[in-house]
């Protein structure tokens, strides 16, 4: 029977968020009160998470389960900070006060799971590493390690990595040094290349892989998708560092596109593969858990609204009847106010008062139309916020890959400049995005079971053609075309604000109104500063640990 993972209650998750330091402090205490003979240390070094008894698959499954966005991460980082900073939504009230609750959760999630990955690395070395089945397992572990590490370093900059996660194996590494983001990037890109090249789709019918794949709750043992995941991540992070390492970035992009390496969203001939399953995403209904944290985070934030920045990318005028809307994603991402009007909240600082109403209260499960008389601006679509079963946690989709392809051909990054290819990729990216979000929303349910279509009707004239006719790509010069590529990628990343934040920081050209944000990273969480102070001070140096400190790959 397939192993599943489940979301616990909010209380349990919060306890889990502090587990890393509790384990480490307990570990240190045991060392202090136990004699230093080798025999005793052998007992101490038994992993309190059960490494000595947990199977390889169980350790791997725990890491996959940790890919879910945390409760505090969603409220205090994504909604309260990054939605506002990227202008994917408008947030009338400043919400910076409690962001460390979110960053602590992200940090602890990573460093709690890192020992699992290190233990798997150690175990795999005792197997026949030349066997295709073992190489597949090694590749899957490397890909997960890369994904999780890239996420953390992109938010914080330099982090402990090369010595991190080994504390249960070597007490000398309980206080790991910080590695430069540059070194982390280059190391992980090498690992992803190894993973992509060594995955063997034919080596899946024998143990240990045959048993191991039963714990794969991301792709369910489909190594072809793992290979696509590896190459898609190589593209994402190669393009992310293009301003600092243009030659290396170009070489990776060239390898993937010229050799037609498997990636999401493209077939073996480099043409559009418009299957919405061409992505890495966690769908709760497939995995027997309910994503309660998402609805809770919007409910607690209360005032996330459609901003004028994204509204002007979805509608060509401000009619409150929605007659200017040309993009169906307006209906997928947002909805009308309590008076059935489309009204965007200003993203540029203004005198507009914070909005009211109750658009994210759970009574809407049964009384969908009641958003509260004071809900004067368009809120985020309630289905996106409330659906606990059919809304995915998105890691990467084919749309992002295809928009990277459009940028590469437009600017000649790793491939010859080809405006025609760039234009084709641009349109393919839009088509994939529209198809993906239509699939997600048409399958979306409220907890009582009401489908998206039961409460929202998307006009039939809104489709790929209406979007294509209203984007200004083919009539503009290279700068206009580049901005259009970034704009469409930014829209598609609506439920991935951390990736939209990275795109904004890398390019400085995503849609925005008013002054460009000067928030570039999050400070290292206080728990790490307290526990690993000397290494932290050595890493941040005289520059300090500031929100406006640029990460390595930025211009």
Q: Is residue 471 part of a domain?
A: yes
Whether residues 258 and 281 fall in one domain: no
pLDDT at residue 53, as a whole number: 77
Q: Residue 12 above 50 pLDDT? A: no
Determine the number of helices (DSSP H) and then strands (DSSP E) in the chain.
25, 4
pLDDT at residue 131, as a whole number: 96
CB atoms inside a 10 Å sphere around CB 475: 8
CB atoms inside a 10 Å sphere around CB 153: 25
Residues 6 or more apart in contact with residue 9 via CB below 8 angstroms: none
pLDDT at residue 50, as a whole number: 54
At 52, the pLDDT band (50, 70, 90 cuts) reads low
pLDDT at residue 20, as a whole number: 46
Q: How many structural domains are present in the chain? A: 2
Q: Residue 17 above 90 pLDDT? A: no
Mean pLDDT of 525-544: 92
Q: Is residue 271 part of a domain?
A: no
Mean pLDDT of 12-17: 37
Phi, psi of 183 (to 5 degrees): -65, -40
Whether residues 174 and 94 fall in one domain: yes
Whether residues 55 and 128 fall in one domain: yes
Cα(375)–Cα(339) distance, rounded to whole angstroms?
8
Extended strands (E) in 94-236: 159-160, 178-179
Cα(219)–Cα(78) distance, rounded to whole angstroms?
26
Mean pLDDT of 70-84: 95
pLDDT at residue 13, as a whole number: 36
At 183, the pLDDT band (50, 70, 90 cuts) reads very high
Token digits of residue 250 = 């170009």
pTM of the predicted structure, to 2 decimals: 0.91
Mean pLDDT of 494-517: 96
pLDDT at residue 352, as a whole number: 80
- CA 415 to chain centroid, in Å, comes to 27
Q: Residue 32 above 50 pLDDT? A: no
At 317, the pLDDT band (50, 70, 90 cuts) reads very high
Extended strands (E) in 157-312: 159-160, 178-179, 279-282
- CA 23 to chain centroid, in Å, comes to 27
The answer to whether the beta carbons of residues 122 and 168 sit under 8 Å apart is no
Domain that holds residue 451: 277-513
pLDDT at residue 96, as a whole number: 67
Specify the residue for token string 């928009």: 403
CB atoms inside a 10 Å sphere around CB 277: 14
Cα(488)–Cα(131) distance, rounded to whole angstroms?
43
Q: Residue 521 above 70 pLDDT? A: yes
Whether residues 123 and 85 fall in one domain: yes
Whether residues 325 and 466 fall in one domain: yes
Q: Residue 6 above 60 pLDDT? A: no
Q: Residue 395 above 90 pLDDT? A: yes
Question: Quick one: three-class SS letters along 427-442?
Answer: HHHHHHHHHHHHHHHH
At 35, the pLDDT band (50, 70, 90 cuts) reads very low
Whether residues 523 and 470 fall in one domain: no
- Tens digits of per-residue pLDDT, 90-113? 988 776 679 999 999 999 999 999
Q: Is residue 272 part of a domain?
A: no
Phi, psi of 396 (to 5 degrees): -165, 145
Whether residues 213 and 292 fall in one domain: no
Cis before 441? omega within 30: no
Pick the closest to residue 55 from 222, 208, 223 (CA basis): 208
Whether residues 250 and 328 fall in one domain: no
Q: Is residue 268 part of a domain?
A: no
The answer to whether the beta carbons of residues 551 and 154 sit under 8 Å apart is yes
Cα(519)–Cα(537) distance, rounded to whole angstroms?
21
- Tens digits of per-residue pLDDT, 149-172? 999 999 999 999 999 999 999 999
The answer to whether the beta carbons of residues 291 and 389 sit under 8 Å apart is yes
Question: Quick one: three-class SS letters along 265-305?
Answer: CECCCCCECCCCCCEEEECHHHHCCCCHHHHHHHHHHCCCE
For residue 363, CA distances in Å to 336, 357, 370, 443, 490 come to 17, 12, 8, 21, 32
At 22, the pLDDT band (50, 70, 90 cuts) reads very low
Cα(277)–Cα(295) distance, rounded to whole angstroms?
24
Q: Is residue 270 part of a domain?
A: no
| 3-state DSSP helix/strand/coil % of the chain, to nearest 5 | 55, 5, 40
At 230, the pLDDT band (50, 70, 90 cuts) reads very high
Query: Vertex 217, ends 213 and 221: CA angle to 5°?
Result: 30
The radius of gyration of the chain's CA atoms, rounded to the nearest angstrom, is 23
Q: Is residue 416 part of a domain?
A: yes
At 51, the pLDDT band (50, 70, 90 cuts) reads low
Q: Is residue 269 part of a domain?
A: no
Q: Is residue 256 part of a domain?
A: yes
Whether residues 104 and 137 fall in one domain: yes
Whether residues 352 and 496 fall in one domain: yes
Length of the chain: 555
pLDDT at residue 517, as a whole number: 86
Whether residues 493 and 529 fall in one domain: no
> Domain containing 506 — which CATH number?
1.25.40.390
Cα(123)–Cα(531) distance, rounded to whole angstroms?
29
Whether residues 298 and 255 fall in one domain: no
For residue 142, CA distances in Å to 3, 118, 189 come to 21, 10, 10
């Amino acid at each position: 029977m397939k192993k599943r993972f489940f979301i616990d209650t909010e209380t349990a998750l919060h306890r889990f968020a502090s587990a890393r330091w509790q384990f480490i402090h307990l570990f240190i205490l045991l060392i202090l009160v136990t004699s230093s003979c080798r025999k005793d240390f052998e007992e101490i070094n038994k992993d309190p998470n059960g490494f000595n008894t947990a199977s390889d698959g169980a350790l791997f499954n725990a890491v996959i389960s940790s890919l879910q966005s945390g409760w505090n991460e969603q409220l205090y980082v994504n909604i309260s900070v990054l939605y506002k900073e990227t202008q994917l939504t408008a947030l009338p009230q400043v919400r910076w006060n409690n962001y460390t609750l979110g960053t602590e959760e992200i940090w602890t999630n990573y460093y709690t799971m890192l020992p699992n990955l290190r233990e798997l690395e150690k175990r795999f070395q005792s197997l026949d590493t030349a066997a295709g089945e073992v190489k597949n397992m090694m590749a899957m572990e490397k890909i997960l390690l890369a994904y999780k590490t890239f996420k953390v370093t992109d938010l914080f900059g330099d982090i402990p990595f090369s010595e991190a996660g080994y504390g249960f194996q070597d007490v000398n590494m309980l206080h790991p040094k910080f590695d430069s983001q540059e070194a982390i990037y280059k190391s992980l890109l090498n690992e992803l290349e190894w993973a992509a090249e060594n995955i063997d789709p034919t080596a899946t019918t024998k143990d240990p892989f045959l048993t191991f794949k039963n714990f794969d709750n991301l792709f369910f043992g489909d190594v072809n998708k793992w290979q696509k995941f590896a190459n898609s991540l190589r593209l994402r992070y190669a393009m992310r560092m293009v301003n600092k390492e243009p030659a290396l970035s170009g070489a990776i992009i060239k390898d993937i596109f010229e050799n037609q390496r498997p990636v999401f969203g493209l077939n073996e001939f480099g043409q559009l593969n418009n299957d919405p399953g061409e992505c890495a995403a966690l769908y709760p209904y497939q995995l027997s858990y309910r994503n309660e944290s998402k609805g809770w985070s919007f409910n607690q934030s209360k005032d996330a609204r459609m901003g004028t920045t994204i509204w002007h990318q979805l509608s060509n005028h401000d009619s409150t009847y929605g007659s200017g809307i040309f993009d169906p994603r307006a209906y997928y991402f947002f909805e009308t106010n309590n008076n059935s009007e489309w009204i965007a909240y200003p993203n540029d600082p203004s005198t507009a008062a914070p909005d009211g109403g109750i658009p994210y209260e759970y009574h809407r499960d049964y009384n969908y139309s009641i958003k509260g008389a004071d809900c004067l601006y368009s809120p985020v679509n309630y289905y996106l916020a409330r659906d606990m079963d059919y809304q995915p946690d998105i890691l990467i989709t084919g749309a992002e890959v295809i928009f990277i392809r459009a940028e590469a051909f437009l600017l000649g990054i790793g491939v010859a400049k080809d405006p025609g290819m760039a234009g084709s990729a641009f349109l393919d990216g839009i088509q994939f995005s529209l198809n993906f979000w239509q699939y997600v929303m048409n399958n979306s349910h409220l907890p009582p079971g009401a489908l998206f279509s039961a409460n929202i009707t998307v006009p039939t004239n809104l489709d790929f053609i209406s979007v294509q006719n209203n984007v200004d790509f083919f009539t503009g010069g290279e700068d206009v075309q580049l901005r259009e590529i970034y704009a469409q990628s930014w829209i598609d990343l609506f439920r991935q604000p951390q990736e939209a934040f990275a795109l904004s920081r890398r390019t400085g050209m995503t849609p925005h109104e008013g002054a460009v944000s000067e928030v570039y990273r999050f400070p290292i969480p206080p728990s790490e500063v307290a526990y690993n102070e000397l290494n932290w001070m050595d890493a941040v140096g005289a520059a300090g640990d500031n929100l406006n400190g640029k990460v390595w790959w930025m211009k």
